[in-house]
Amino acid sequence: MIPLYKPYMPDELPCLEEILHSGALAYGKWGRSFEDALQKYLHCLQVPVTVNSFTAAIHVMLAALGVKRGDEIIASPQSCLASTMPLLSYGAKVVWADVDPKRGTLCPESVEGKISPATKAIFHNHHCGYPGYIDEINEIGRRKGLFVIDDCIEAFGAHYKGKLLGTLEADATLLSFQTVRLPNTIDGGAVIFRCKEHVQKAIRIRDLGVDRSTFRDAAGEINPNSDVSFPGYGVTMNEVASYIGCLQVGQLDELLEKQRQNAFDWQVVLSDKMPGLCFLDTENINPNYWVFGILAKDKAATLKDFKARGYSCSGVHLPNSYYSVFGEQGVYPGVREFHSHFVALPCGWWFKRCGNE
C-alpha cells in the first residue's frame, strides 16, 4: 500500500553524534541557524520564531499578539484538530465560519458575518496545502481591525499569486514541523510575525519570559535587575531538532518539486481514466501538494476503489464542529458539502508516479 503520509529524513546526519555529546543540547547555534535558513528560504522580513511543537507555536503566537481568555477567534471547522484545539486550550472562544466547498478553505462572506465586538482574530487554515482566499480574508482583517493568522500546518512551500505563504501580509503565519510535514524536525513549529515588536516579545515568551541579553551578569550569575514582566513558556526548540530542520531546508526545493510533478501526473491520469472526478479549485494558487485532493461523487466508493488499487487515501479531517468541546454553533453547508466529497490521494516526495491502471 502506498502511504498517504510519510516522514522524511535525510540519508545522512553527519553532525548528529557530535551534537548529542557536545553538552550543548538546548536552543543555541543550530536553533539560530535553522531560523536563519527558514527566513532565507521563505524570503520573510522577520526571522521565524521556532518552538518545540505546533501547539507551542500557537500559544506563543496568541500571547505575543495579546489575545486574552474569552476573546473570539474565527476559524474553519474543516481543519486539523492540531490547529483548532490549541486555540481552545489557550482560553479563546472558537467561532466557526463556513468554507468554500470547491476548495475547503474559509468563505470570506461567512467570515464577515461571524464578526462580533469580541472578535480578536481570523484564523485562516490552508486546508491540506491548498491556500485559501488570502486577499479577501486579509482585507476583512484590515478593515475590521482584526489580526489575521495564516495557519500553514500543512501548507509550507505553497504559493498564492506567485508568493510563498509566510510573506503575504498576515499578522502571523504558523508553520508545523511535525513528523509528516516538510520540513520536519520530528516535532516542532514556528511563527512568522509581520511586526518586529511581536517577534521580540515571542522570543521571550517561548523562553519563560526571560530576556537572555540581560539575564546573566558579568560573573555569570542571574541578574536581579533583569525583570521577567510577563508570563512565558519553556518551549524552545532543542539543537537536535534544529539541526535536522537545517538539513531538510536545503532539500525542500527538490522534495516539493517531486510533489508537484506527482500532482500533475495524477491530474493527467485521472482526467483520462476517471472523468467524473472533480479537482479542487486552484485559481491563483500553487499548492505544496502535501496530498492530492479530489472531489468524488461517491466518497465511500472512491476510497474503497483506490485502496483496492494499493493507494492509501482518506478524507483526512473530520469537521471539528462535530466535537462537543467546541459547543453547538449551527450548520455549515459548505463544510458539509466539502467533507462529503473530499478525498486525499498520496502525492508526497516518496511517491514515484501514479499508476495508469
The 10s digit of each residue's pLDDT in 281-293 is 999 999 999 999 9
Q: What pLDDT is recorded for position 354?
A: 58
Q: Which region holds residue 186: left if phi is over 0, alpha if psi is between -120 and 50, else beta?
A: left
Residues of the chain with pLDDT under 50: 357
Asked if residue 193 lies in contact with residue 49, where contact means CB atoms within 8 angstroms, the answer is: yes
CA distances from 347 to 1, 98, 177, 263, 341 (A): 13, 27, 18, 6, 18
- Average of per-residue pLDDT values in the chain: 96
Check if the beta carbon of residue 346 is closer than 8 Å to that of residue 2: yes
Look at residue 273 in the predicted model and tell me its pLDDT.
86
What is the predicted pLDDT for the residue at 355? 54
* Partners of 148 in beta bridges: 122
Q: What is the pLDDT of residue 276?
A: 78
Per residue in 27-66, pLDDT (tens digit) is: 999 999 999 999 999 999 999 999 999 999 999 999 999 9
Instruction: Give the model's pLDDT for residue 3.
Output: 98
Domain with CATH 3.90.1150.10 in the chain: 252-345
Q: Options 3.30.390.30, 3.40.50.280, 3.90.1150.10, 3.30.465.10; which CATH number does 252-345 get?
A: 3.90.1150.10
How far apart are the C-alpha atoms of 86 and 54, rounded to whole Å? 9
- DSSP labels, 26-78: SSSHHHHHHHHHHHHHHT-SS--EEESSHHHHHHHHHHHHT--TT-EEEE-SS
- 332 DSSP assignment: -
Residues of the chain with CATH 3.40.640.10: 15-250
Q: Which fold has domain 15-250?
A: Aspartate Aminotransferase; domain 2 (3.40.640)
pLDDT of residue 60: 99
Phi, psi of 269 (to 5 degrees): -65, -45
Q: How much is the pTM? A: 0.96
